[in-house]
Structure 1
Amino acid sequence: MESNMDQTTESKTSIKAVLFDLDDTLVLTHTADKAAHQAVMELLSRREHPFLDQQAIIDAFVKGFINQPWDPNHQIDVTEWRAQIWCRALEAQAIRDIELAREIQHCFDTTRMASFQWAPEVEQIVQRIKLKGIKVGIITNGHPKVQRAKLSACRADEIFNTILVGGEEVHQKPHKSIFLKACELVGTRPEESVMVGDSLKTDIQGGINAGYLSTVWINNHGIDYSPHELVKPTYIIRNFSELPQVLSLY
């Protein structure tokens, strides 16, 4: 565990709420994505296209997905939008088959959701936090349909006191409004709240913007962090299991 906090001035402020990011914080989404990509490759291997470059199709989809994961004008259903991304990836292999693209998207979604479960120790640690009388919540960015499906897959509403999906709010992370609303919903003040997430840009900066007591960056991607970074989390941990050590400081 690393800290950017001046230990000589650290106060013993009582934590009333811990708010979490979802993707690659509570759930290792990149692992679920990997399983989904593998299922797609297996589906494609059963097709009678001898010169099909399966990895190239996956790579093209990922590139298109990163560029625009859903219709910015909200005219096309997100599942159909992503099927169209697969369709363009197939077309790059001279295959024009929207029905195959839809089948691939269904395979991807089904496998991904089946793999979308809590990261190791998450459920136990969150329950331990709750036993201390501390509220817990989720603040996640993304398309409402997609994020709600993820939240349902891991049964998040059975554990967390409140859940906010950025796509359902006026502003997404890192805008301070969604962080302040989370505090309001769980009945705490920002200066009594801690934000935990894997993204410096959205989770950590958002917690700072809202005036949270502290922020905890889970660097589970092994990113090289420089003390000269513009976004400075209060604490840096390598995985979720180290979180109780941070919270014990308060």
Structure 2
Amino acid sequence: METTPNRTSEMKQYKHIFFDLDHTIWDFDKNAEETLHELYHVHQLNAIGLTSANLFIETYTRHNHQLWAQYHLGEISKDELREARFKKTFIELGLHPDTIPADFEDAYVKLCPTKTNLFPHAHETLQYLQQKYTLHLISNGFKESQQLKIAGSNLAGYFQHIIVSEDAGVNKPDKAIFEYALNLAGAAKYESVMIGDSLEADVYGALHFGIDAIYFNPFNAPQPNDVPVQITHLKELTLML
């Protein structure tokens, strides 16, 4: 954990903590991997030429991350993201478009949000923070999927407000979604902090809006010089907040 010199004293002033959900609390990649392994066998992808489940998952993950980055920035729509991620994956792996399973995306969207893998110490950390702060979620994820994830993982009780970009009308990092969230929470900028894994959407989005941010960096990617605070484990929050 790296902080600016007097960061601990500043953090004691917070009243509201805004969390991202996917890749921050809910382990998106682990849940997606479980889902894709199941669907690989259910849809018998081996029989249509995809002989490696792991290569299929790696290829999908790369395309999905790229498309989500575009979605965060408003470059593509929800429907475009959902239409493209498996199509790009299958075609890159050599399948003709006519052989792509027609209902694969729908099956994925139904199954994946029911998975319940969270990052280590998620419940423990949220229980601790809930006693000291008012917690909220701000997510760019799709509303119906996020509702399933939150309910299935028993997360709803921690958060006073759950803000989904579809309701706000804009995605992180747009300043408008942070303004929407703070107005809904009745929170001032100086008493609020955003915690998330996405440098662009969560960290820079919050900082450019004028609230503090903590970068959740579980895979120890290089920490940019202009990111003042990062954690690699959620439990670190119980020591610093």
Per the shorter chain, which TM-score range? Answer: 0.7 to 0.9
How many Å separate the matches in 1 of 2:24 and 2:155? Answer: 13
Question: Partners in 2 of 1:176 and 1:118 — Cα distance?
Answer: 28
Report if aligned partners of 1:39, 1:111 keep a CA contact under 8 Å in 2.
Answer: no
**Quick one: structure 1 residues 142 and 8, their matched pair in 2 at CA, closer, same or farther if it must change by over 3 Å?**
closer
TM-score, scaled relative to structure 2:
0.79
Partner residue in 2 for 1:121: 121
Gap change, CA 1:145 and 1:9, over 3 Å in 2: closer
| Pair member with larger Rg | 1
Moved more, 200-209 or 61-70: 61-70
1:82-129 CA-to-partner distances (Å, cap 9, x unmatched) read: 69728954993247346x331x33443344223234322222221222
**C-alpha distance in structure 2 between counterparts of 1:9 and 1:48, whole Å:** 57
Q: Which residue is equivalent to 1:96?
A: 98
Partner of 2:210, secondary structure, is coil
**TM score, norm. by length of structure 1:** 0.77
The answer to which structure has the higher helix fraction is 2
Aligned twin of 1:28 = 27
- 5+ residue gaps in structure 1? none
Match of 2:173 in 1: 174
Q: Give the RMSD, CA atoms, in angstroms.
A: 3.3
Does the 8 A contact of 2:87 with 2:97 survive in 1? no
> Closer, same or farther in 2 for the Cα pair 1:209/1:43, shift >3 Å?
same
Equivalenced residues, count: 235
Match of 2:216 in 1: 218
Distance 1:48 1:95, change over 3 A: farther
Displacement of 1:57: 4.7
| Amino acid corresponding to residue 199 of structure 1 in structure 2 | S
Segment drifting more, 11-20 vs 184-193: 11-20
Change (3 A) 1:223 1:101: same
Residue 157 of structure 1 pairs with residue 152 of structure 2: no
Give 1:32 shift. Answer: 0.6
What is the CA distance between 1:136 and its match in structure 2? 0.2
Cα pair distance change 1:40/1:153, threshold 3 Å:
same
Percent identical among aligned pairs is 21
